[in-house]
């Protein structure tokens, strides 16, 4: 960034380099949405699809998200990938509590979101009983396309501030539901479709 020696005389042409202006709040939200690292946390078969999403074909690195952090203190997003057993629930909550604010939660698959076909005493019937869920990705398992749809929706919610408005209104997570996208579907995704 350069300094104009005589703005009145030279105008913007007096600057040595290009520059941009923006509100600090917008820059913070923009950078948060593009630097969110997921916690390394998989619970069941959905986690295989999550791993595929991070691998070469789908390449989460495109979204600044290739770094799955083993330490919750370095993670921003918890992707609950798979069914949550009653035994695992306190562990999941502990991992969530150890993550730094602001932090976000994606519920991946019907088992995490509602217990799915495991309607029994051993499985938590919805991870929103344990942590506040911001985005629900449907499917059994959700395809990598669906997970990326959920991730991009989350990014958009962070960037435009909608996620905080929804959290304030609900007193919990943003509670956004995205559509399932079949495998191999090349149709462009419309962000914000709920």
Are 58 and 148 in contact by the 8 Å Cβ rule? The answer is yes
What minimum distance in Å lies between the beta carbon of 109 and ligand SF4? 3
Cβ distance to ligand SF4 smaller for residue 109 or 173:
109
Cβ distance to ligand SF4 smaller for residue 75 or 108:
108
| Interatomic CA distance for residues 185 and 34, integer angstroms | 24
Element (H, E) at 30: helix 24-33
Backbone angles phi, psi at 132, to 5 degrees: -75, 125
Element (H, E) at 108: strand 104-108
Point out which residues bind ligand SF4 (CB under 6 A): 44-46, 82-83, 109-111, 116, 140-141
What minimum distance in Å lies between the beta carbon of 116 and ligand SF4? 5
C-alpha distance from residue 14 to each of 1, 18, 19, 21, 178 (Å): 12, 11, 12, 17, 49
Cβ distance to ligand SF4 smaller for residue 14 or 54:
54
What minimum distance in Å lies between the beta carbon of 99 and ligand SF4? 22
- Distance spanning both ends of the chain, measured CA to CA: 42
Cβ distance to ligand SF4 smaller for residue 45 or 172:
45
What minimum distance in Å lies between the beta carbon of 74 and ligand SF4? 25
Cβ distance to ligand SF4 smaller for residue 36 or 114:
114
What minimum distance in Å lies between the beta carbon of 140 and ligand SF4? 3
């Amino acid at each position: 960034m350069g300094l104009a020696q005589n703005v009145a005389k030279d105008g913007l042409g007096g600057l040595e380099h290009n520059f941009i202006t923006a509100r600090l709040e917008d820059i913070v939200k923009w950078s948060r949405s593009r630097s969110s690292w997921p916690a390394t946390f998989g619970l069941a078969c959905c986690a295989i699809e999550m791993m595929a999403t991070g691998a070469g074909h789908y390449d989460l690195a495109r979204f600044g998200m290739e770094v799955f952090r083993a330490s919750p203190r370095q993670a921003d997003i918890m992707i609950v990938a798979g069914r949550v057993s009653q035994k695992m629930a306190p562990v999941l909550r502990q991992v969530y509590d150890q993550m730094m604010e602001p932090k976000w939660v994606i519920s991946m698959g019907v088992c995490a979101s509602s217990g799915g076909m495991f309607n029994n005493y051993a499985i938590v019937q919805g991870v929103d009983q344990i942590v506040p869920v911001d985005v629900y990705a449907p499917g059994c398992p959700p395809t990598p396309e669906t997970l990326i749809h959920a991730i991009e929706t989350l990014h958009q919610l962070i960037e435009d501030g909608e996620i905080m408005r929804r959290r304030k209104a609900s007193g919990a997570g943003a509670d956004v539901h995205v559509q399932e996208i079949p495998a191999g579907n090349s149709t462009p995704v419309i962000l914000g479709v709920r």
